A and B are shown apart, each in its own frame.
Chain A
């Protein structure tokens, strides 16, 4: 099989705008799933609400497209009730960290055996570009017309602190690394959290002068800094760029987990 066999041909074309990162991230995720040799009949994809969460509907497996913010709570029920099923969750930054923030930290704490892919585009895409808990200070959105005044969440750090067994961050530019990270997540028992910085040209890009999808990718390429390097610079007291996107693996551990197949 290839990742294409994991997509519902009869659901295409998808709803995403041209230049949106979500398609790339879906492809990378399903390529990783494909490498696991999972049985599509024993795989469940769960998502919340948002452009990102529409991903579940494009996967050729059982899929549960739930309510805004609650994907992890639904997925917890699926996985605890039937641990032999493989469960992947797609979510967005608003879905996961705003309305679903409580479920996020508790799913990490339970360390339930799910792989969670968050398409973090720093904005509410589906509802037309409002600020989210990851919108950077100063960034423009329809609800932060003078620049975001609230500090943003660091989702990867949050997942580490809350107890997830595997945490990584990449961007939609890093397709190979992303694929590998998702695969590592799928292989790790317990909660695996992969934050993917995503471009939303329609809403975030337009407001914040990232005109073309290629400009966004260029930004991801030039601003990304490997976590090991970032940590070294900080340890040495050297300056780090304020807009660096720290990418790489944040944690990989084998703490006690729930819902792991016997």
Chain B
């Protein structure tokens, strides 16, 4: 099965029943799969007029209680930024699959990249809290799409599947489980204010059409949902809660794989480059090379670096100029060596071996 198709299947398994999208390479197969599968699953597929409309429709659908998603790549992702901030502000659960391609601009439509890792975290204006996952196999395209839905529903925020073209277009055999673990958003209890912090700082969800008569606005709002745009305390409390509800779940939702925790030299990687790292580790079994592979990149699991108590350096291969390397740097005093690779080709194990040898010496 192809990675993009596996993501669509994961979404359906997680309960997604609304897909709004706009074609863009290399993500289009997600939409095409949804177009054929959604009607049979009792859901809705709609091809919108652009990506701004796609994410808007997804948010609208989510407020009716449907699990909703879209899929895109760089240019479309850029167009979504304003409404993604609206989703953060209004605490709308939704999933965006971004099959990353070379940017900036139209860049390399058919080539792989990881250039949107900071954009997904910081791209919308204001302080925001979001979740981002990074699959490195077709199986994970499925499994982490399910997980993205579960985290979006639980934390009531956008969750991103930040894949890259390599993984999206890769074909591998996968296991499609009969059932998957599914989290549904907690409904608002009657008599409770719609935007008052509930457990984990997340309010209950006042689904449209259920008699809550809720007002949902992207303006700064009080716990009733009413605009309160000039009250500094209301604004600070709201934005801090929106960020803290996600950042505060950091340890609990962290998802990473540790290899050789006694290692001195440790690769920190995610997505396609982690496959080249895995090859290098397999090629040099006696070296005990350390690997921290992130399946969940945001909120960044900074505590995971401490799993390597003998670490002397971190090497971070990415298909960008060091976006997550700079995040690693923020959380360690040890040397951090970015291994950027632009252009769309994978790092080779030989390239990584050279960097590794240089660092180990």
> Which residues of A approach B to under 8 Å, CB–CB?
8, 10-11, 40-42, 44, 46, 56-57, 60-67, 70, 73-82, 84-85, 102-103, 106
A62 to B226, CA, bound (A): 12
Q: Which residues of B contact A82 (CB under 8 A)?
A: 61, 64-66, 208-209
Q: Which residues of A contact B50 (CB under 8 A)?
A: 102
A33 to B60, CA, bound (A): 21
Inter-subunit contact A70/B18 (CB<8 Å): no
- A-B contacts, 17 of them at CB < 8 A, read A41-B209, A56-B215, A57-B217, A57-B227, A63-B215, A65-B217, A66-B218, A67-B82, A73-B56, A76-B53, A77-B20, A77-B68, A78-B64, A81-B66, A82-B65, A82-B66, A106-B49
Interface of chain A, helix or strand or loop or mixed? Answer: helix
Q: Which residues of B contact A66 (CB under 8 A)?
A: 56, 59, 83, 86, 218
A65 to B219, CA, bound (A): 8
Q: Identify the closest chain B residue to A44 (Cβ).
A: B208
A232 to B16, CA, bound (A): 54
Interface: B277 (CB within 8 A) = no
Interface: B154 (CB within 8 A) = no
A60, A65, A77, A80 — most chain B CB neighbours (10 Å): A77
Inter-subunit contact B83/A78 (CB<8 Å): no
Q: Identify the closest chain B residue to A86 (Cβ).
A: B209
Range class of the B interface residue count: 35 or more
A148 to B146, CA, bound (A): 53
Q: Which residues of B contact A80 (CB under 8 A)?
A: 18, 44, 46, 57, 61
Inter-subunit contact B56/A74 (CB<8 Å): yes
A56, A65, A73 — most chain B CB neighbours (10 Å): A73
Closest-CB distance, B350 to chain A (whole angstroms): 48
Question: Which of A61, A65, A73, A84 makes the CB contact (< 8 A) with B57?
Answer: A73
Closest-CB distance, A255 to chain B (whole angstroms): 18
Question: Which of A56, A57, A65, A74 makes the CB contact (< 8 A) with B60?
Answer: A74
Inter-subunit contact B64/A76 (CB<8 Å): no
Q: Which residues of A contact B44 (CB under 8 A)?
A: 80-81
A177 to B158, CA, bound (A): 44
Given A57-B226, A81-B18, are A103 and B53 neighbors across the interface (CB < 8 Å)? yes
Inter-subunit contact B216/A81 (CB<8 Å): no
Q: Which residues of B contact A102 (CB under 8 A)?
A: 49-50, 53
A229 to B82, CA, bound (A): 45
Question: Which of B18, B59, B218, B226 makes the CB contact (< 8 A) with A11?
Answer: B226
Q: Identify the closest chain A residue to B215 (Cβ).
A: A63
Q: Which residues of A contact B214 (CB under 8 A)?
A: 62-63
Q: Identify the closest chain A residue to B43 (Cβ).
A: A81
Q: Identify the closest chain A residue to B85 (Cβ).
A: A67
Q: Which residues of B contact A11 (CB under 8 A)?
A: 226
Inter-subunit contact A41/B213 (CB<8 Å): yes
Question: Which of B65, B68, B86 makes the CB contact (< 8 A) with A67?
Answer: B86
Question: Which of B60, B218, B219 makes the CB contact (< 8 A) with A76?
Answer: B60
Q: Which residues of B contact A74 (CB under 8 A)?
A: 56-57, 59-60
B196-230 CB mask vs A (1 if < 8 Å, else 0) is: 00000000001011111111111100000011000
Q: Which residues of A contact B60 (CB under 8 A)?
A: 46, 64, 73-79, 81
Q: Which residues of A contact B209 (CB under 8 A)?
A: 41-42, 44, 62, 82, 84-85
A40 to B213, CA, bound (A): 8
Inter-subunit contact B218/A70 (CB<8 Å): no
Question: Which of B20, B49, B66 makes the CB contact (< 8 A) with A103?
Answer: B49
Q: Which residues of A contact B48 (CB under 8 A)?
A: 73, 76, 106
Q: Which residues of B contact A79 (CB under 8 A)?
A: 60
Interface: B336 (CB within 8 A) = no
Question: Which of B49, B82, B213, B218 makes the CB contact (< 8 A) with A65?
Answer: B218
Interface: B242 (CB within 8 A) = no
Interface: B356 (CB within 8 A) = no
A85 to B50, CA, bound (A): 25
Inter-subunit contact B215/A65 (CB<8 Å): yes
Inter-subunit contact A64/B18 (CB<8 Å): no
Closest-CB distance, A6 to chain B (whole angstroms): 10
A11, A84, A103 — most chain B CB neighbours (10 Å): A103
Given A41-B209, A74-B59, A78-B61, are A106 and B53 neighbors across the interface (CB < 8 Å)? yes
Closest-CB distance, B190 to chain A (whole angstroms): 13
Given A77-B56, A77-B68, A80-B57, are A85 and B208 neighbors across the interface (CB < 8 Å)? yes
Question: Which of B49, B59, B65, B82 makes the CB contact (< 8 A) with A77?
Answer: B59
A106 to B22, CA, bound (A): 13
Interface: B34 (CB within 8 A) = no
A56 to B209, CA, bound (A): 15
Interface: B167 (CB within 8 A) = no
Question: Which of A10, A63, A64, A76 makes the CB contact (< 8 A) with B46?
Answer: A76
Interface: B52 (CB within 8 A) = yes
